[in-house]
Structure 1
Amino acid sequence: MMPMDMSASPVCNLTVGDEIRGKWNHSIYRVRRRLGYGATGAVYLVEHKNGLAALKIGHDQMSITSEVNVLKRFSKVQGKVLGPSLVEVDDWQTRKATYPFYAMEYLKGETLFDFMKGKSLDWPGILLVQLLTDLHTLHQAGWAFGDLKPDNLLVTGPPYRIRWMDVGGTTVMDRSIKEYTEFFDRGYWGKGSRKAEPSYDLFSAAMVMINMAYPARFTKRSDPDKQLQEKIASSPMLKRYAVILEKALNGKYQYAEEMRNELVVLLNAKDQNKTNQKQMTKSNNQKPATRQAQKKKKKSFLAETFLVFTFVFVVYLFYMLGQTM
């Protein structure tokens, strides 16, 4: 069963200027705008005494506590920055109800769609390599991301780096995915179960790239396999990654690292081809100039030889004249 749509929930409809006061820590957060919402609640950009933060608020205490635990686990992954850092956890008490929330680091950046405007076709592959690197670390820690989609991703920098904004869908491995979005869900496309495992996230990662090529998304037709193949083949951005995308969509990768390594090889091969083409172009452009330089060098040599010969001849003449006198 797909998680309930919370778009009509009070926690998803706070407006600019609304204040959220912590029941226990008494911190005050003032809403600037909503960043997004999902099955477990909404995320807002807020102001507080130390600057800007992202605040996730929901109805279910267990769901919020689970996400907080995930963020805490992320902070313990040595040498890796996966999700945003946790600021604090509290409750917001109103006249009608009490809502759990947590504040976290606000990641300033661009959405995938905004970032890609004017960028080369190599960038989707570069961002996917970064995403797969983080997914491998997450999977090794025993979690699946679950609700992987552009709405939960952000590009920070420069240097440009893909980051996770919302970890509401993260699920312990081998359990049922607790939150998903149909377009990125392999169950919706008839490509497998909703079991939390690496291949579930890798399917979603492939669909994230497809969504970058088709921002408006599209609905499933009667033959989803053929439909996805046609979408990949019809996109100049996607067809260069067609083999890797199709393997991910069909569950051919067991680990994120496998998919990442193949993608790195592909990108390196493309870079090498570009380098070779540039060198060939440079060589071709230099050929006429080289021939001209060789001609000039030959003329110069002949001129120098003529001058030397003339000088020797003149010296010889003076010598002969001296002998006759």
Structure 2
Amino acid sequence: MVIALSQPNSLSSQPNPWSGRLVGDRYRVNERLGSGGMGDVFLATDIRLGKPVAVKLLRESLALAEDLDFKRRFERECAICAALKSPHIVQVSDYGVTAEGYPFYVMEYLQGQPLDQLLFNQPRLSVTRTCNIMTQICAGLQLAHEGVVLWSGEVASSERIKVIHRDLKPANIFLVPSALGEFVKVIDFGIAKIHSLQAEFTSATSVFLGTCHYASPEQFDIRGEVDERSDIYSLGVILYEMLAGIDPFGFDFRAKRVSNDVWLTAHATQPVKPLRSQPNCDSISPELEAVVMRCLEKSPGDRFVSVAALSKALQSANAETPINSLLLAPATGQQPAPSQTDLATVARSPLATPVPGSSSLGSSSLGSPSRAVSPLETASQQSGRKFPLLLMGGGVLLALAIGIYALPQVLQSSQPNGTSTAQLASSIRTFSVAKTLKGNSHPVWSAVLSPDEQTLISGGEDKDAAGQFYPIKIWDIKTGQMQRTLEGHLAAIRSLSLSQNGQILASSGGDNTIKVWDVPTGKLLHTLEGHAGSVWSVALSKDGQTLISGSEDTTVRVWDLRTENSRVLAEHAAVVYSVALSPDGKTIASGSADKTIRMWDLATGELIRTLGEPGGHRDTVRAVAFSPNGEQLASVGWDGFVKSWDSTTGQLLQTFEGHSDRVDSVTFINDRMLASASLDKTIKIWDTQNGQMLQNIPAHSNWVLSVNAQPAAQSLVSSSSDTTIKLWQ
């Protein structure tokens, strides 16, 4: 879902193919609010009511889905999400399918901020504010947990459908400023588990997507039963962090990345640290601590039996400062029967198969959106770290949230030839492993292809037989055998760069030096010294006469290889992990642990611009790369995001979301295709025009440390902590 935050959104100026068009014969699209791998959210005008709304359009057309059962489940889950009529749950006011077959949802448009943004700026909240927020969350969840009834015409279904959220976290809690205080909405029921009395639909959402940081122990067990007590566990983690400013296991997650495996182990086996033992938490009452700790019990049977019981316990523990009851909407109530007008359908919808317990799928207006307060989905680039985890497969999922990639995968599996719409486009290609190079004993940090793609050069943590040097290895791709080595570095090699003709190689590493080699002869041409720390990145100009380097000493250096003289560019405040040189040789880009990307004029050394907020990375920028035509700059970071920028204006073009861990390498395959590599062991291929993930490659058995391609490449090469190098074609 996308929420309209109070600050301006740079995505609104992106090319908008839907601009000015009517969706569902009612919603005129104005501007883009957010974008992700699954779809886009637009600001639109409801021409019938003359009010602004937000319209989410999925990128995959359901017209391609031949599975009738999928279509029926799609409609049913739409209706269920729309039936969650609590003021404390984001409201779906309309949904349908365009004439082209693209599903859409309509939600109220509102400004405010998600809880994770508040906690990013203010990690600890007062007891009173915490309890006010949490009791409103409970009020919304109580309706979902107790269940909703679907209507068809004026007749209610006999079944009551219980909905468990399963992905509660600060990014999915939205705060709306009001005269009475913060009004709270729970958003993103798109991966909810739906408990139905009808067996046909009990597994409609058997694909599990969650966020390891906040997931309950039973959510990691494919045999585990997930019910309302799973949501209560997640609320316990949120409560703990709001009160203590730190997670229940003391991982200091705001300062460093915590892997999914670590979260899983902690939730399943590690004891929670007592809340009052955390710094500055001794003023929290023992009664409130007991409430939080009970939510975090490993066994569901030891937690509160319901969110109503949790809310009551919170109010009792905070009795000296009463909860603001004026902000609490009733948690339950009779659902009114919709009018015939509300249930009108659009005949042109390609999915018009009636489903028991719901209206036929079209542009079904599900009740007049009369409430004035309701946020929308959080844009992936605004919601902070968001790492959906696919733990089990074999079902259908209606995903309402940007950044969840189940729908493209389902569509892919449902097509007869196993291809997605993007893969059918002639300009897009896929990759599979063509060769695996073995022979290293330690992680390989960098690997590059020669222009003719016959030779591969790698460097990493391997030492020579004498234990003196860290050799660069040169491989014959055809045979997969190492041909020779270049020796000279006294510490691990971090980066390699080839000149355009493949004759000159630059290498850098932990010995604070840069070495320049003649590849055909293996001769060492230059040893460049000047950095006061490890040199993490090097980039050669096309002619091999200019070299750019970035270092742990926080500087970027520009080297003239004819004289070995260098200029220092010192604007970063932390380690410079990556440098890149534009194809025209005029612009330098650098990425740093200070979370920024800086662009420099090569000739003058002047800083052109800094790419950060709005829309920038929220953690270390690990790699940057220019597109072959020089029009785009890609960046990846430890926040898990891949981003593309207009290299001329600095405007954010796309945020690609899908990695479940830090992303540490990026390369352009061509001007349209981008590849990223991550500690989640995958390489992902992206369409730079629409932000879609084209391919998810389970690449290595450990961290993928680099991925590289030549500008017009027919191949990719990756290297990994698993000590292997792989060629992809």
Structure 1 distance, partners of 2:126, 2:183, is 16
- Asked if 1:18 is matched to 2:16, the reply is yes
| Match of residue 47 from structure 1 | 44
- Asked if 1:149 is matched to 2:169, the reply is yes
Structure 2 distance, partners of 1:145, 1:180, is 10
- SS of the equivalent of 1:229 reads coil
From 115, 118, 126, the equivalent of 1:120 is 126
**Fraction of identical pairs, as percent:** 14
1:290-305 matches, within 5 Å, as none
1:174-189 matches, within 5 Å, as 176=206, 178-187=208-217
- Asked if 1:255 is matched to 2:306, the reply is yes
From 99, 111, 119, the equivalent of 2:114 is 111
Contact 2:32–2:40 (Cα < 8 Å) also in 1: no
Structure 2 distance, partners of 1:100, 1:237, is 48
Structure 2 distance, partners of 1:177, 1:247, is 28
Say which is worse superposed, 20-29 or 98-107, in terms of deviation: 20-29
Offset at residue 37 of structure 1 (A): 5.6
Structure 2 distance, partners of 1:204, 1:131, is 12
Offset at residue 242 of structure 1 (A): 2.6
Offset at residue 23 of structure 1 (A): 6.0
| Match of residue 68 from structure 1 | 78
Please give the per-residue CA displacement for 1:96-136, whole angstroms capped at 9, x wherever unaligned.
Answer: xx431111112322221444656534211221111112212
From 274, 278, 287, the equivalent of 1:234 is 278
Residues 167 and 115 from structure 1, CA distance in 2 versus in 1: closer, same or farther, beyond 3 angstroms? same
Residues 32 and 24 from structure 1, CA distance in 2 versus in 1: closer, same or farther, beyond 3 angstroms? closer
- SS of the equivalent of 1:228 reads coil
Structure 2 distance, partners of 1:179, 1:74, is 20
Offset at residue 193 of structure 1 (A): 6.2
Residues 14 and 156 from structure 1, CA distance in 2 versus in 1: closer, same or farther, beyond 3 angstroms? closer
Letter in 1 for 2:166: G
Offset at residue 22 of structure 1 (A): 5.2
Root-mean-square deviation (Å): 3.7
| Match of residue 172 from structure 1 | 194
Offset at residue 197 of structure 1 (A): 1.3
Contact 1:15–1:33 (Cα < 8 Å) also in 2: no
- Asked if 1:81 is matched to 2:87, the reply is yes
Structure 2 distance, partners of 1:190, 1:87, is 33
- Asked if 1:162 is matched to 2:184, the reply is yes
Residues 167 and 235 from structure 1, CA distance in 2 versus in 1: closer, same or farther, beyond 3 angstroms? farther
Compute the TM-score of the two structures, normalised by the length of structure 1: 0.62
| Match of residue 10 from structure 1 | none
Please give the per-residue CA displacement for 1:45-71, whole angstroms capped at 9, x wherever unaligned.
Answer: 513254432333334855753442124
Offset at residue 246 of structure 1 (A): 1.8
Structure 1 distance, partners of 2:279, 2:17, is 45
Structure 1 distance, partners of 2:211, 2:232, is 14
Structure 2 distance, partners of 1:227, 1:16, is 47
Contact 1:147–1:180 (Cα < 8 Å) also in 2: yes
Structure 2 distance, partners of 1:129, 1:17, is 41
| Match of residue 341 from structure 2 | none
Please give the per-residue CA displacement for 1:169-197, whole angstroms capped at 9, x wherever unaligned.
Answer: 22222755743222121137869965341
Please give the per-residue CA displacement for 1:25-57, whole angstroms capped at 9, x wherever unaligned.
Answer: 2633233321x768xx45625132544323333
Contact 1:83–1:164 (Cα < 8 Å) also in 2: yes
From 102, 105, 114, the equivalent of 1:99 is 102
Letter in 2 for 1:179: L
Say which is worse superposed, 210-219 or 47-56, in terms of deviation: 210-219
Residues 64 and 53 from structure 1, CA distance in 2 versus in 1: closer, same or farther, beyond 3 angstroms? farther
Greater helix share, structure number? 1
Structure 1 distance, partners of 2:320, 2:13, is 50
From 138, 141, 144, the equivalent of 2:144 is 138
Contact 1:64–1:101 (Cα < 8 Å) also in 2: no
From 289, 292, 308, the equivalent of 1:245 is 292
| Match of residue 29 from structure 1 | 29
Offset at residue 154 of structure 1 (A): 0.6
Please give the per-residue CA displacement for 1:253-291, whole angstroms capped at 9, x wherever unaligned.
Answer: 1111111111110011466xxxxxxxxxxxxxxxxxxxx
Structure 2 distance, partners of 1:46, 1:193, is 41
| Match of residue 239 from structure 2 | 209
Letter in 1 for 2:83: R
Contact 1:172–1:196 (Cα < 8 Å) also in 2: no
Residues 232 and 168 from structure 1, CA distance in 2 versus in 1: closer, same or farther, beyond 3 angstroms? farther
Contact 1:153–1:162 (Cα < 8 Å) also in 2: yes
- SS of the equivalent of 1:83 reads coil
Residues 192 and 259 from structure 1, CA distance in 2 versus in 1: closer, same or farther, beyond 3 angstroms? farther
Residues 178 and 223 from structure 1, CA distance in 2 versus in 1: closer, same or farther, beyond 3 angstroms? closer
Greater strand share, structure number? 2
| Match of residue 550 from structure 2 | none
Gaps of 5+ in 2: 1-10, 63-70, 148-161, 197-201, 247-252, 323-729
Structure 1 distance, partners of 2:276, 2:55, is 37
Offset at residue 237 of structure 1 (A): 5.9
Structure 2 distance, partners of 1:148, 1:82, is 14
Say which is worse superposed, 189-198 or 160-169, in terms of deviation: 189-198
Contact 1:109–1:155 (Cα < 8 Å) also in 2: yes
